[in-house]
Amino acid sequence: MKKQKPHLSCSGIRTFLDCNKKYQYQYLDKINIPKDHSMKYLSFGKSIHKTLAKFNKIRDQSQRNIDTLHDLLRKNWIREGYTSIEEERSFGLKGLDMLTKYYENPKDQGKKILLIEEMLSIDLKEYILDGVLDKVYITHDNNLEIIDYKTGNNMYPLDNLQLPIYLFLSKEKLGVYPNLVSYYFLSHNKKYTREVTKELINNLSMDIHNLCTSIIKTKDFHHNSTPYCKSNCQYYQLCSILNFKCNHSFNINTKLKN
């Protein structure tokens, strides 16, 4: 039987860089242990993403109003993961507030939308790279911009791991690289943007390809035990039961994490 090509994504690569063993459990052995405490954040993030995707697809300007946007959140609300009605309600109110801020001063408007929330895959011979583009559009001053909506409270810059994946996806789907790539932090209604240059494309493409190749060639998956394993890793019990020896020496291309 023909061997299937491995799939890699930004979250998979990050998991590998955090702990090889965790990557093996999650992406190769496909051991599905949901992280209970993060389920509500996942549900919340998905609800907002679905809402914005549907809102951004509305062409009729008379329909693009705040009531429509709020109604879309109600219709697309995912209830999973909340520990009480009160908690769910407070997240719901936070979502409505977030969307109101967005509606009043959107930072992703331009001349033409090229793509809204699409899951894409690129076949790169040895592996397949998967990712989602939330929105790609032409700005009023003719830049091609990729937007990634973020629904958490923390704001952080676009790193050299996520950026090249967006570049590849854009090139694959639209035939061109973007000029701008932005994280849109909806809680604060602020956008962090990085300009894309030819030099950046060349450097990052090489780095990410080398990293992906080393991941797919890895045979020995080390543990990267930290004091946060117990609180942060859903495989902590499995790791403890199997009583693996932890390996602190793992160090692969960590510069990409920054």
Which of residues 201, 236, 252, 253 is near ligand SF4 by CB under 6 A?
236
Binding of ligand SF4 at residue 194 (CB under 6 A)?
Answer: no
Q: How far apart are CA 218 and CA 174, in angstroms?
A: 32
Indicate whether 103 belongs to the interface with ligand SF4 (CB under 6 A). no
Question: Do 116 and 135 contact (CB within 8 A), yes or no?
Answer: yes
Which of the residues 27 through 66 are near ligand SF4 (CB under 6 A)? none
Residue 83 near residue 43 (C-beta atoms within 8 A) = no
Assign 177 to helix, strand or coil: coil
Choice from 10, 12, 16, 22 touching ligand SF4 (CB under 6 A): 22
CB of 251 to ligand SF4, least distance (A): 15
What whole-number distance in Å separates Cα of residue 175 and Cα of residue 20?
A: 34
Biggest distance spanned by C-alpha atoms of the chain: 62
Number of Cβ within a 10 Å radius of residue 27: 19
Segment interacting with ligand SF4, rule: CB under 6 A, options 83-91, 103-111, 169-177, 235-243: 235-243
Residues touching ligand SF4: how many (CB under 6 A)? 12
Nearer to ligand SF4, 17 or 146 (CB): 17
Please identify which residue in 116, 180, 229, 252 interacts with ligand SF4, judged by CB under 6 A: 229
- The span from the CA of 113 to the CA of 135, in Å, is 8
User: Is the CB of 31 or the CB of 206 nearer to ligand SF4?
Assistant: 31
